[in-house]
Amino acid sequence: MHLSRRDGALDLLKWLALLSMLLDHLRYVGISADWLYVPGRLAFPWFCLAMAANLARSGARKTGWRYPGWLLLFSAVSEIPYRLYIPEPDTLNVMPTLALGLLVARGWQDRAPGSRLLAAVALLLAVLFAERLMFGLFGVLLPLALLLVMGRPWYFSLLPGLVCLAANQWRVLLESAQFGNGVAIFGLGACLVAPGLGMFLLRHARSLSVPPMRRWAYALYPAHFLLLLALRQAIA
């Protein structure tokens, strides 16, 4: 989805989220690069923040239903490339989590009965199938948490930071951090500060001229799995 008046900061946030995701998934290409887990923790909260920013700027009704529709479509399109590339995945790809999170955030913002009903259904699905969703129930709640603090002082970003941490297997990270694991320590920090960093960017980089990320960008998600799969086979 794109708006009639481009926001350079918002487009930059999307590109940086895409780059963070690519760095995270390079860990599975066949090289020893566990440290890429840390910048990878920025991708999901920044994609969620981009959705929240679109809702905050335009409202649920103006954004229409194409936005969740595209997410649901590419949820299905991306599942096969995702499973081909990620070894033995125990969750679906990230798109269903984003789609459910968008519906929940829209339902909070839009009081129309249809929006509220879909939000309730999305929340119920998130509760029932939390183990099958990437980032689980807290991942579905993260766009709403970000929407609630949009436009507020920076310290309110600690709330979505905690939600982001809860979505990222915080127990495993905390236990590893207690044993001095540097990746876990910096991973914890990345989860906590990602929403605040994203909001700082949205507030102070609006005048930047960045190539717009339009609907074609949805195809980058399944495409990058196929490209990384080809790279892994080439270097094997």
In a domain, 1, yes or no: no
What pLDDT, on a 0 to 100 scale, did the predictor assign at position 74? 95
Residue 132 belongs to domain spanning: 8-235
What pLDDT, on a 0 to 100 scale, did the predictor assign at position 59? 65
- CA distance linking residue 16 with residue 20, whole number of Å: 6
In a domain, 74, yes or no: yes
pTM: 0.93
118: tokens are 């879909």
Domains: count for the chain: 1
In a domain, 2, yes or no: no
Q: What is the largest CA-CA distance in the chain?
A: 53
In a domain, 3, yes or no: no
In a domain, 104, yes or no: yes
CB-CB contact of 169 with 147 (8 Å): no
In a domain, 76, yes or no: yes
CA-based nearest residue to 103, from 112, 116, 113, 91: 116
Q: Between 43-58 and 94-109, two packed helices, what is the crossing angle to 10 degrees?
A: 30
In a domain, 218, yes or no: yes
Q: Annotate 45-78 with b (16+ C-beta within 10 A) or e (fewer).
A: bbbbbbbbbbbbeeebeebeeebbebbbebbebb
CB-CB contact of 147 with 55 (8 Å): yes
CA-based nearest residue to 139, from 54, 44, 36, 25: 44
What pLDDT, on a 0 to 100 scale, did the predictor assign at position 111? 86
Per-residue pLDDT tens, the chain, 236 aa: give them.
344 467 889 999 999 999 999 999 999 999 888 999 999 999 999 999 999 999 998 765 555 678 888 999 999 999 999 999 999 999 999 999 999 999 999 999 988 898 999 999 999 999 999 999 999 999 999 999 999 999 899 999 999 999 999 999 899 999 999 999 999 999 999 999 999 999 999 999 888 888 999 889 999 999 999 999 999 999 97
In a domain, 187, yes or no: yes
Query: What Cα–Cα distance (Å) separates residue 81 from each residue in 15, 20, 29?
Result: 21, 19, 14
What pLDDT, on a 0 to 100 scale, did the predictor assign at position 7? 81
